[in-house]
Homo-oligomer: A and B are copies of this chain.
Amino acid sequence: MPPAVPPADSVDPLPSWKDGAVRRAILAYVKRVSRCGSPAWIPPEDRIAVLDNDGTLWPENPIPIQLAYLLDTLGNRVRQTPSLAKDPAVSAALRGDLAAVLKGPGSEEATGRLLSLTHAGMTPEEFRASVARWLATARHPRFARPYTALAYQPMLELLALLRAHGFRTWIVSGGGLDFMRVFSGCLYGIPPEQVIGSHGRVRFELQDGQPRLVKTIDQLVVDDKAGKPEAIHTFIGRRPVAVFGNSDGDLPMLQYGTMDQPRPSLGLLVHHTDGQREYAYDSRPSSSGKLVEGLRQAPDRGWLVVDMARDWSVVFPPVSPGSAMPACRF
């Protein structure tokens, strides 16, 4: 006789979340807004969940993953064309002194030159191929895993829970739009048209009679802070009801989704408290206040604060080190 299949209700949709106030509040919210006949019911078309990426869905330490891509790519460019290292911004970046690039007069131009060398002057398809090649071999310096094996397992479960209850999940991140699209599908199950990120203009041209787009850093749109609710309006045109972030850069998006909001809403901040399994950094006074105002406002606003050390039983997916997530083989 085959083993009995457990009834659907008994399958835990959030096995990596420890029992506690946060887990219970999430489960109660998705149930009450999606259950037929519930007074808090939200029509499916308005079940819009927006999620930050760096620090919310995957790590942003010791440096943001896209910055690791930028530095590796810059190193390759300089190996091919050594004269590029004459640019002080390039040489500073390659010796690990980004502070020198990001401060002082001319820092905007210097940053622009680094972005130009690594994120522009190619088609989106060429950029995608470059990022995919990098993801296939790059390893996180501490966890020795491919970056695509470092999505937070509890957040992957949360994404699945939201979608199982009729939510559409959107990434709204300061990361690069085209960068995130390379892995958003295989890693998070989020298609390219539901990714919002920082981007420059792509330039359309006919080359030898064939149409192509070329990435530029012109007319840069930075999808951070107030830019997040602004981009949500431009791209989606609906107010989100569920908002997930991890830093003060996500505050405007949390405010937009949850304050003066006629629909029941869910705001959540991932608080990085787990130096053993991940990093504990966001509310140290020395960390330039990454998540200070958010923690201060959370109680009044009713936002959930995930204490990673306390609320997550697992941080990363249980794959053997060195292997990519099954769906993300590039």
Interface-lining segment among A77-85, A100-108, A138-146, A192-200: A192-200
Return A204 CB to nearest CB of chain B, in Å: 4
Distance in Å from the Cβ of A243 to the closest Cβ of chain B? 11
- The smallest beta-carbon distance between A199 and chain B, in angstroms, is 6
Contact present for A234 and B193 (CB under 8 Å): no
Please, how many angstroms separate the alpha-carbon atoms of A124 and B191 in the complex? 27
Using a CB-CB cutoff of 8 Å, which residues 285-305 of chain A contact chain B?
Answer: none
Stretch at the interface among A4-12, A64-72, A205-213, A309-317: A205-213
B229-A193 in contact (CB<8A) = no
User: Which listed residue (B191, B192, B202, B210) contacts A260, Cβ 8 A?
Assistant: B210
Report the bound CA distance from A159 to B79 in whole Å: 52
Residues of B within 8 A of A45 (CB): 191
The bracket for how many chain A residues form the interface is: 35 or more
Collect the chain B residues with CB atoms within 8 Å of residue A193's CB: 235-238
Cα(A233)–Cα(B181), bound, Å = 11
Pick the residue among B206, B234, B252 that contacts A177 (CB under 8 A): B234
Query: Which A residues are within 8 Å of any B CB, using their own CB?
Result: 45, 124, 177-178, 181, 191-193, 195, 199, 201-206, 209-211, 213, 219, 226, 229-230, 233-238, 252, 255-256, 259-260
A-B contact pairs, 29 of them (CB 8 A): A45-B191, A124-B233, A177-B234, A177-B237, A178-B237, A181-B237, A192-B237, A193-B238, A199-B234, A202-B230, A202-B233, A202-B234, A203-B226, A203-B230, A204-B229, A204-B252, A204-B256, A206-B255, A210-B260, A211-B229, A211-B252, A211-B255, A211-B256, A211-B260, A213-B229, A213-B230, A213-B233, A213-B256, A235-B235
